[in-house]
Structure 1
Amino acid sequence: MTETRVHELETEEEWVAAFPVLNQLRTHLDEESYLDYLREMTAEGYRFFAVSVDDEIVSLAGVGVQVNMYYGRHVWVYELVTDADHRSAGHGSKLLSFVEDWAEVNNCELVALSSGLQREDAHRFYEERAGMERASYVYKQPLK
Structure 2
Amino acid sequence: MITIEELRTEEEVVQIFPLMKDLRPYLDEARFREIWRTMQPDGYRIYAMYDDGELVAFTGIQIRMNMYYFRHVFVHELVTSAGRRSKGYGEKLLTFVHEWGRENDCVTVALKSALTRDAAHRFYEEKMGYDCFCYSFKKELVE
* TM-score for both structures, normalised by structure 2: 0.96
Query: Identity, % of aligned pairs?
Result: 46
Aligned position for 1:107: 105
Give, in whole Å, the separation in 1 of the partners of 2:30 and 2:59. Answer: 19
Give, in whole Å, the separation in 1 of the partners of 2:51 and 2:42. Answer: 29
> Is 1:59–1:91's contact at 8 Å kept on the other side of the alignment?
yes
Residues 83-122 of structure 1 aligned to structure 2 (within 5 Å): 83-122=81-120
Residues 1-144 of structure 1 aligned to structure 2 (within 5 Å): 3-144=1-142
**Letter of the aligned partner of 1:13 in structure 2?**
E
Q: Secondary structure at the match of 2:23?
A: coil
**Letter of the aligned partner of 1:16 in structure 2?**
V
Residue range with higher mean Cα deviation, 50-59 or 103-112? 50-59
Give, in whole Å, the separation in 2 of the partners of 1:117 and 1:71. Answer: 21
For residues 7-33 of structure 1, give each alpha carbon's deviation from its aligned partner in whole angstroms, at most 9, with x where no partner exists: 111122221211111111011100111
**Letter of the aligned partner of 1:108 in structure 2?**
C
Give, in whole Å, the separation in 1 of the partners of 2:54 and 2:117. Answer: 25
Give, in whole Å, the separation in 2 of the partners of 1:99 and 1:143. Answer: 32
For residues 56-89 of structure 1, give each alpha carbon's deviation from its aligned partner in whole angstroms, at most 9, with x where no partner exists: 2111110111110011110110011101010011
How far 1:96 moved relative to its partner? 0.3
* TM-score for both structures, normalised by structure 1: 0.95
**Count of equivalent residues:** 142
For residues 33-73 of structure 1, give each alpha carbon's deviation from its aligned partner in whole angstroms, at most 9, with x where no partner exists: 11111111122210111111122211111011111001111
Q: Secondary structure at the match of 1:40?
A: helix
Pairwise CA RMSD: 0.9
